[in-house]
Amino acid sequence: MSIKVDVAINVFGKVYQTALAVLSLLECSGKHISTIYFQEEPLTAEYEFKKHDAILEYFSNSVEHYIPKFWNGIEPTDVKRAASSEDYRLSIRYQYGWEKSHERYLLTIHNDIEVVADIVGNLLNELDGHSGVGEIGQCWWCPAGQNGLCDSEKYTEFKPSYQYLMKIYNKDMDYSQRRAYNLELAGQFRDNAWPLPECRLNEWCALIDMEKVRNDTMPLGRAVPFGARVPSGAMIGENWDRPVCLDVAVQWFRDMLHMGHTFKHYDVNKDIIHDRRGSVKLDSAEAYVIAEQKALLRLKDRFPEYCEFAGLL
C-alpha cells in the first residue's frame, strides 16, 4: 500500500496560478495524495475579481476548502492569542491543514508553483528519518550565503556569534540584495545567532513528518505555528522606526532545531517551476496580471479538459 500525503496550500488570489498548482501537483504526484486542504485568505488583491469556484468544484472529492475568520496580512503573529483562540490560530498560513490532517506526512505548497515531476515521491524518498525535507534557506537574501560562508547544505555548520552576524549584515548593506535585519536583531539572536534570520524550510514546497513535529508545535507543543511570522528586530532610521518580521516558518524552523529536530535539503527546483524571489508582488497590478495570463496559457496548453470545464476556452 502506497504512502499517502495530505497537502496544505495557502491561497491569496492568483486564480489561474492556483489552478495550475493544484492540477500539476495531482497530475505528477496524485497517487500519493489524500486530501488537499485549501486555505483561502478572507481577503484578496483589490484587482482580483475572479474566484476559485472552478478548481474547487473540479476536485470537490479531494479538496477541503476553508476560509479563516481573520486576515493577518504581513503583520506579526500574535503567538499568545494563537495559543488561546482556535479561530485566530487557524487564520495563520497552512494551519488549517496542519491541524486537520490525518496522514503522517503533510506537503506545504505555494499557490504559484507548477509541478513538472513527482515531487511528492521524490521528497518521500529523501526524507530519510528527518522531520522535514525541502529547500533549506533563502540564501540569496543572506549575507552568509552571499559571502560563501554558508549554504543550504552547510547550514548546520555555520554558527556565528551575534557580533559576527551583525558584522556581516552591516557590511556593504544593499537593500536590493538583503533584507533589513541589519540594525538590530531580536534578543533571541543575541542569545543564539543560529539558525540565521533567513534560515528555514521553505514552505513553497516542503514535506513534513507530522508524527515527529506535531506534539512539539502549537497547539500541542511550545514551538510557534509553522506559518507564524515573528518580529526579528527593528529598522531604525532618522525619520522612522518600524519592526521587521521573520519570514513564514523561520521561527518554527528555529524552534524545531533548538529542540533537536533535523531537516534535509532537497533542490525542489528540479521538480517544480517557481519564482522563489516572489517577483510577482501582490502590490503590483501589472506583475500580477502578467503572471496570471502566463498561468492561463499554461493551463490551456497542459490541461485543456479543465479549461473546457471552467469555460476558459
pLDDT tens by residue, 246-268 = 889 999 999 999 999 999 999 99
Residues 222, 295: one domain?
A: yes
Residues 298, 278: one domain?
A: yes
Which pLDDT belongs to residue 286?
A: 87
- Mean pLDDT, range 171-186, rounded to an integer: 65
Residues 129, 155: one domain?
A: no
Residues 10, 104: one domain?
A: yes
Which pLDDT belongs to residue 172?
A: 73
Residues 123, 177: one domain?
A: no
Residues 93, 131: one domain?
A: yes
Please tell me the pTM assigned to this model. Answer: 0.93
Residue 151: give the domain boundaries.
138-198
How sure is the predictor about 242, in pLDDT bands with cuts at 50, 70 and 90? Answer: low
- Let me know if residue 239 belongs to a domain: no
Residue located via cell numbers 476558459: 312
Main-chain dihedrals φ then ψ at residue 206, nearest 5 degrees: -140, 145
Which pLDDT belongs to residue 268?
A: 97
Residues 121, 142: one domain?
A: no
Q: Could you give the C-alpha distances from 225 to 64, 69, 138, 176, 214, in angstroms and in order?
A: 20, 17, 19, 29, 10
Q: Which residues pair with 209 in a beta bridge?
A: 105
Q: Could you give the C-alpha distances from 22 to 7, 34, 49, 114, in angstroms and in order?
A: 10, 13, 20, 8
- Let me know if residue 240 belongs to a domain: no
Residues 63, 115: one domain?
A: yes
- Let me know if residue 282 belongs to a domain: yes
Residues 85, 148: one domain?
A: no
Give the start-end residues of each E strand in 67-141: 105-109, 114-115, 132-136
- Let me know if residue 170 belongs to a domain: yes
- Let me know if residue 189 belongs to a domain: yes
- Let me know if residue 131 belongs to a domain: yes
Cα–Cα distance, 305 to 313 (Å, whole number): 10
Residues 32, 56: one domain?
A: yes
In the chain, the number of structural domains is: 2
- Let me know if residue 233 belongs to a domain: no
Residues 295, 212: one domain?
A: yes
CATH of the domain at 112: 3.90.550.10
Residues 25, 128: one domain?
A: yes
Cα–Cα distance, 18 to 54 (Å, whole number): 11
pLDDT tens per residue, range 91-115: 999 999 999 999 999 999 999 999 9
